[in-house]
Structure formats: structure tokens, C-alpha cells
């Protein structure tokens, strides 16, 4: 991923070049490898590059052969090779970048190109061949990448886009988080949703709601997730997996380890084949020679590295060790202290650009870990975000859903809002250090399968009375995912049972319960009773309800003091109408303690 900044509808863009380059420097942590700038008739596009694919030739902004279409992209397009083939042999590509294919797709399909992309992306495309020049901006279906849009009363008619809020706050007095699955078109000055999956209306009331009734196809769930991991191994640089020892990250690591092993075996056969071809004479040229896919990646980086973080002897560290030993990864473990986390809070909030308590809690250890990973020379990691929302039970409060319909409605709502919380955390915590996080659970094909499962099959045992299936497996949260991988088609288990059937931890809990307790105590020591009593006077809208929330909001305002900035933040609060505690920590849910009371070591 990278950082992009664009402004369109400017009167004198050439005179603004230095100004926008300076604003784009605030994004350089996202793209430390190179910078580029294009000035058009009414526009300026600036790009900060993190080189993952097409390292030697993919500098941006990308410019078409005739110089009329200019493109700045933050993201990865996993199906770029197939898309290159689809545009026909007459199209000449200038780079090996996975993103360049967007230009001929635009010329052939206009804005319909958005639905053709399989990946995570935010892009701004400028067409200078029309009058007035046209700009199109788009964001991936779920919002894995970040994108903001802004307007300035001092520059009426101008529109601004940036990967992060910090590049827009000085110029814009109105800013919105650009909606995922949408594109903006300056020709109509409108924003349109292009992502319309079959499950999208599942959170609605009334006859228009789509509540699925499909039985869980465990084989399809398993194979679709395996394919999602495989395609995300496309890279020209060292990569790894974030491993908390929980179900989601451990499954991703297991699949990645299996793919690595498969390719190692395939390489032996490939060498034999190349030797035979060499003896038979020169082969015909391959038009896709030099392009990077997942197989080429695994051949270049055959060792899978895993990374975990936690307080000393935290649940995540202990479980990650067990998973890594089973999978045979090269494992790296980092221990942090509560004080180190507290010291990093101002930086974390600056990069997150939100004051949501849950996001800040979980992002701090991820931010610290990302720095360690980048220091090792790794530039891309796989991560397990999205499973909690897709399966509807990762957040333990789902056990309180009154019925299956309500369960599914909340599930869809959480997936739609991932860009305000978990996706934001995964993107900004890692990109603060120029580390790219890829999330297989948010693959479009996997979403289509998992979101269309009958919610009755996603529900799990309520209270302390555990239920078991015919194989003796507990019907706990994420049962269908666990069951899908509780098999060994090749005779080798995906995970040890103690990991596969481990109780869910919120990430901020799993790194060590003392982390959240330490944050709360720090807030108690820092925020006076007098100041907290006046919270509503200082913030009449979205008033902090705890001293911890007060402290986080105060730090946020120190970085971003404008109302335009505060309006982009979204706080997540558990379902009070389901009888859930206001504290978002998983420990506040009674089922968590009930499950651990009866858990035995394996």
C-alpha cells in the first residue's frame, strides 16, 4: 500500500505544487520508498510509494502511453494478470505494477472497472483527454484501505482526496471518510455505490431485507479461504503473518505455511521441466514474463515468518508459541510493557485519526509490533481481521442476540462498518511504519460464501451449558469455521485442537489483561474529577463516558482540533439493548468468564 493525495478543480494547480507536496509528506510513513507528483490542467496528484509489486518499474503516479490518463493508487490488485489479458494484446504496459491495468480498464469499461478489481485499493484517476478534465476516485468494497474526501470554503468547486486525514485538515473545513464500495465521478459530481453483493441488505428491516437460509458448506468455506490466502501471497518483498495464537490468525498462518510447502515441492518439478525445455530448444516468449503472482512470491521467499506481541506471559504469546511450533514457522515474539504502550498513545492516536476506545486499545500493541517487523526488513504481513464480523460471533456479545434474524442483521451491520474500526486499525497501525497488512477474510469470494450462511448455523451455545456435536466438538463461537478446518484432507491437521477450539479473545485483551487495566488506571491518574465532570461542556456531541475515553479524546483534539476532523471519527459501543456492558472489552461479557472457568489445558 501507499499514500495518495489529490486535488481537483484548482484554478492554478502549478502554483499549488509545492503546497500539496508538503501536505503529502505527512503521508510519507505510508510510502517511504519513493514520491511522485503530477500537475494537470486543474489537478495535482501526489503519491508516496511503498513498493511491494513491480518494485523496479512501478513508480506513481502512473501515466498512460499517450499521457492523457493519470493514476495514483494505494493498494494491491490480486487479479492483475488476468485483467491484463482481458484488455487485449494491443494494450502496451509500461511497468510490471499490478495497478497499471486500471488505466486500460477505465478506457474500456469506464467506472464499471471498479467491480472488476479483486483486491484492496483506493485510487484517484485523472482523465485529461476530456474537457473539463474528469477525475474518478474509488475505494475497495469493504474499506480495507483508507480514503478521505474533503472540501474547502476557500476553494469553492475544488475536491480533495487523501489516504489519511492529516493531509486534509489544514485545507478542508468539511471532511468525510470516503464510503467503501463507492466511486466518485467529477463529471456528475456524485458518489455511487458499485459494490452490491447478495447479502448487502441483510441489516434492513422489512421485506427488502435478505436473511440467508443456506446450510454451511464446510468444504466450500475451507477452500474459499485457502484461495483468499493464496492470492494474497503476491509480493516481491519479504512477508510474514501476524500470529496472536487465536483461531483467525492461526488459520491464516496455517494456510500460508501449507502454500509455502506446496510451492517448494512444485519448484522441484518446475526445475525438471525447465531442464527438459532447455534441452528441447528455446521456448516461445511469455507476454507476462516478469509479472509477480503468488507462486513466484513463494518461490522467492520460501520461509514463513510469524510475529506476535503481548505483555509477559500473556494469553496471546503463549498460544502463538504453540501455533508457531506446530506450523514450523520462523517465529518472532515481542514483549512490551504497559508503560511502553502508554508512552506510545499520542503517536498511536495521531496515526489512527480516531478517538474510539476499542480501536486505540487494540492498535497500540499492533503499532509497536509493526515497528519491530519493519525493522527486520519485512514489508507485508497477512492478518486475521474480518472473521469476527463475518461469522457474527467473534464479538462475544453476539451470544445475547434475541433471535437468528437479529443476529444476522448485526453481523451485516458490523461488516459494513469494518472500515471505521478493525480495517482502520489494521491499515493505519501497520502503515505508520510502512508495513502493509493483507486480510484474507475480507476477500470478496469468501464474503459471498460466509455471509450467505443461515445465521442459525452461526449461533452458538449460550451461557455456561456447553453443547457438543456428534464428533464431540463444542458448539462455541465460530463453530462453522472451526469445523471447516477440523479435518485433514491430506492427513495433516491444520492446527492443534487447543488452538482450533480456543476461546475467543479480543486482541486488546489477549495481549495481556493488564494492558487495558493499565490504560484505565493511567486515565484515572491523569484526568481529574473536575475536568471529567465538565466533559459535556467541552464535547456536547459524542461526550466521553469514561476517563479513558476523555483522555483519548483530549489527545485526539491536540492533534486534530477542528470539528471537520472530529466528525470523521466513529465510536463503537456494544449493544446496550441486548443487555451488553458499555465497556467494549471481551472480558466484560459474562460468557467469556464462563467459558474460561470450564476450560481445560490440552
Is residue 55 very low, low, confident or very high in pLDDT (cuts 50, 70, 90)? confident
More confident residue, 53 or 152: 152
Q: 3-193 has which fold?
A: 3.60.20
Q: Torsion-angle region of residue 152: left (phi > 0), alpha (psi -120 to 50) or beta?
A: beta
Structural domain spans, the chain: 3-193, 218-282+290-528
152-169 mean pLDDT: 97
Mean pLDDT of all residues in the chain?
A: 89
Helix or strand (DSSP H, E) at 160: strand 159-162
**Catalytically active residues, by annotation:** 2
pLDDT digits (tens, 9 = 90+) for 340-357: 999 999 999 999 999 999
Is residue 52 very low, low, confident or very high in pLDDT (cuts 50, 70, 90)? confident
Total residue count of the chain as it appears in this document: 602
Which pLDDT score is estimated for 268? Answer: 63
136-153 mean pLDDT: 98
In 3D space, the residue among 586, 411, 383 whose CA is nearest the CA of residue 502 turns out to be: 586
Residue 433 and residue 430: Cα distance in Å, rounded?
6
Residue 319 and residue 327: Cα distance in Å, rounded?
12
Rg (CA), the chain: 24
127 is in an annotated binding site: no
Residue 159 has pLDDT above 80, yes or no: yes
Residue 329 and residue 321: Cα distance in Å, rounded?
10
198 is in an annotated binding site: no
Place of cell 486534509: 168
464 is in an annotated binding site: no
384 is in an annotated binding site: yes
Question: Which CATH code for domain 218-282+290-528?
Answer: 3.40.50.620
Look up the pTM and report it: 0.91
Instruction: List the grid coordinates of 194.
Output: 458499485
Report whether 41 contacts 8 (CB < 8 A). Answer: no
345 is in an annotated binding site: no
Who contacts 546 (Cβ-Cβ below 8 Å, separation ≥6)?
357, 520, 523
In 3D space, the residue among 522, 503, 524, 525 whose CA is nearest the CA of residue 514 turns out to be: 522
Residue 147 has pLDDT above 50, yes or no: yes
Is residue 21 very low, low, confident or very high in pLDDT (cuts 50, 70, 90)? very high
Measured in whole angstroms, the distance separating CA 493 from the mean position of its chain's CA atoms is 28
Residue 111 and residue 114: Cα distance in Å, rounded?
6
Residue 427 has pLDDT above 70, yes or no: yes
Is residue 598 very low, low, confident or very high in pLDDT (cuts 50, 70, 90)? very low
Burial of 190 (0-12, 13-18, 19+ CB in 10 A): exposed
More confident residue, 315 or 433: 433
Mean pLDDT highest for which of 91-95, 211-215, 461-465, 499-503?
211-215
Who contacts 87 (Cβ-Cβ below 8 Å, separation ≥6)?
101, 104, 105, 108
Report whether 108 contacts 36 (CB < 8 A). Answer: no
Instruction: List the grid coordinates of 195.
Output: 459494490
In 3D space, the residue among 66, 50, 69 whose CA is nearest the CA of residue 58 turns out to be: 50
Report whether 454 contacts 216 (CB < 8 A). Answer: yes
In 3D space, the residue among 259, 258, 278 whose CA is nearest the CA of residue 270 turns out to be: 278
Residue 494 and residue 327: Cα distance in Å, rounded?
8
HEC string for 43-71: EEEEEEECCCCCCCCCCCCEECCCCCEEE
Residue 131 has pLDDT above 90, yes or no: yes
pLDDT digits (tens, 9 = 90+) for 90-119: 999 999 899 999 999 999 999 999 999 999
Residue 539 and residue 328: Cα distance in Å, rounded?
51
More confident residue, 272 or 39: 39
Report whether 434 contacts 374 (CB < 8 A). Answer: yes
Is residue 565 very low, low, confident or very high in pLDDT (cuts 50, 70, 90)? very high
Residue 307 and residue 351: Cα distance in Å, rounded?
21
DSSP track, 522-569: HHHHHS-HHHHHTHHHH-SSS---SHHHHHHHHHHHHH--SHHHHTT-
Q: Maximum distance among all alpha carbons in the chain? A: 85
Residue 275 and residue 178: Cα distance in Å, rounded?
52
More confident residue, 1 or 184: 184
Amino acid at each position: 500500500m501507499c499514500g495518495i493525495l489529490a486535488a481537483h478543480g484548482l484554478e492554478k494547480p502549478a502554483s499549488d505544487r509545492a503546497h500539496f507536496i508538503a501536505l503529502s509528506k505527512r503521508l510519507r510513513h505510508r510510502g517511504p520508498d519513493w514520491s511522485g507528483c503530477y500537475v494537470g490542467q486543474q489537478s495535482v496528484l501526489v503519491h508516496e510509494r511503498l513498493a511491494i509489486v513491480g518494485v523496479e518499474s512501478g513508480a506513481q503516479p502512473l501515466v498512460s502511453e499517450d499521457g492523457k490518463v493519470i493514476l495514483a493508487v494505494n493498494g494491491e490488485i490480486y487479479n492483475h494478470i488476468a485483467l491484463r489479458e482481458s484488455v487485449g494484446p494491443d494494450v502496451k504496459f509500461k511497468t510490471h505494477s499490478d495497478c497499471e491495468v486500471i488505466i486500460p480498464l477505465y478506457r474500456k469499461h469506464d467506472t464499471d472497472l471498479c467491480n472488476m478489481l479483486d483486491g484492496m485499493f483506493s485510487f484517484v484517476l485523472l482523465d485529461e483527454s476530456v474537457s473539463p478534465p474528469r477525475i474518478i476516485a474509488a475505494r475497495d468494497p469493504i474499506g480495507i484501505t483508507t480514503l478521505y474526501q474533503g472540501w474547502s470554503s476557500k476553494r469553492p468547486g475544488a475536491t480533495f482526496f487523501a489516504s489519511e486525514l492529516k493531509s486534509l485538515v489544514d485545507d478542508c473545513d468539511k471532511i468525510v471518510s470516503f464510503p467503501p464500495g463507492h466511486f466518485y465521478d467529477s463529471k456528475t459530481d456524485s458518489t455511487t455505490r458499485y459494490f452490491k453483493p447478495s447479502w448487502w441488505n441483510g441489516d434492513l428491516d422489512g421485506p427488502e431485507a435478505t436473511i440467508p437460509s443456506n446450510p454451511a458448506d464446510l468444504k466450500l468455506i475451507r477452500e474459499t479461504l485457502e484461495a483468499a490466502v493464496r492470492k494474497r501471497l503476491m509480493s516481491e518483498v519479504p512477508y510474514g503473518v501476524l500470529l496472536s495464537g487465536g483461531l483467525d490468525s492461526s488459520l491464516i498462518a496455517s494456510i500460508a505455511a501449507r502454500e509455502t510447502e506446496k510451492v517448494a515441492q512444485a519448484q522441484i518439478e518446475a526445475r525438471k521441466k525447465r531442464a527438459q525445455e532447455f534441452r528441447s530448444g528455446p521456448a516461445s516468449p511469455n507476454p507476462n514474463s516478469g509479472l509477480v503472482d503468488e507462486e513466484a512470491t513463494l518461490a522467492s521467499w520460501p520461509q514463513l515468518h510469524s510475529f506476535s506481541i503481548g505483555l509477559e506471559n500473556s494469553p496471546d504469546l503463549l498460544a502463538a508459541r504453540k501455533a508457531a511450533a506446530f506450523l514450523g514457522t520462523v517465529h518472532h515474539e515481542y514483549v512490551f510493557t504497559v508503560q511502553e504502550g502508554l508512552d506510545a498513545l499520542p503517536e498511536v492516536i495521531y496515526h489512527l485519526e480516531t478517538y474510539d476506545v476499542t480501536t486505540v486499545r487494540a492498535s497500540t500493541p499492533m503499532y509497536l509490533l509493526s515497528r519491530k517487523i519493519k525493522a527486520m526488513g519485512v514489508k507485508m504481513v497477512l492478518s486475521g481481521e474480518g472473521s469476527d464480523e463475518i461469522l457474527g460471533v467473534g464479538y462475544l456479545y453476539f451470544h445475547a442476540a434475541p433471535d437468528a434474524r437479529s443476529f444476522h442483521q448485526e453481523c451485516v451491520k458490523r461488516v459494513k462498518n469494518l472500515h471505521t474500526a478493525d480495517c482502520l486499525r489494521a491499515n493505519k497501525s501497520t502503515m505508520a511504519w510502512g508495513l502493509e497488512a493483507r486480510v484474507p477474510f475480507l476477500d470478496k469470494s469468501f464474503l459471498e460464501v460466509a455471509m450467505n450462511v443461515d445465521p442459525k448455523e452461526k449461533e452458538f451455545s449460550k451461557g455456561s451449558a456447553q453443547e457438543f456435536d456428534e464428533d464431540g466438538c463444542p458448539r462455541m463461537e465460530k463453530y462453522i469455521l472451526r469445523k471447516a478446518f477440523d479435518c485433514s484432507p491430506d492427513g495433516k491437521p491444520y492446527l492443534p485442537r487447543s488452538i482450533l477450539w480456543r476461546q475467543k479473545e479480543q486482541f486488546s485483551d489477549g495481549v495481556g489483561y493488564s494492558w487495558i487495566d493499565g490504560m484505565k488506571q493511567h486515565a484515572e491518574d491523569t484526568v481529574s474529577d473536575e475536568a471529567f465532570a465538565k466533559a459535556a461542556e467541552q464535547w456536547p456531541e459524542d461526550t466521553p463516558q469514561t476517563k479513558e475515553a476523555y483522555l483519548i479524546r483530549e489527545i485526539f483534539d491536540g492533534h486534530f482540533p477542528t470539528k471537520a476532523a472530529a466528525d470523521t471519527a466513529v465510536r463503537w459501543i456494544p449493544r446496550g439493548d441486548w443487555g451488553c456492558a458499555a465497556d467494549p472489552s471481551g472480558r466484560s461479557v459474562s460468557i467469556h468468564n464462563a467459558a474460561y472457568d470450564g476450560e481445560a489445558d490440552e
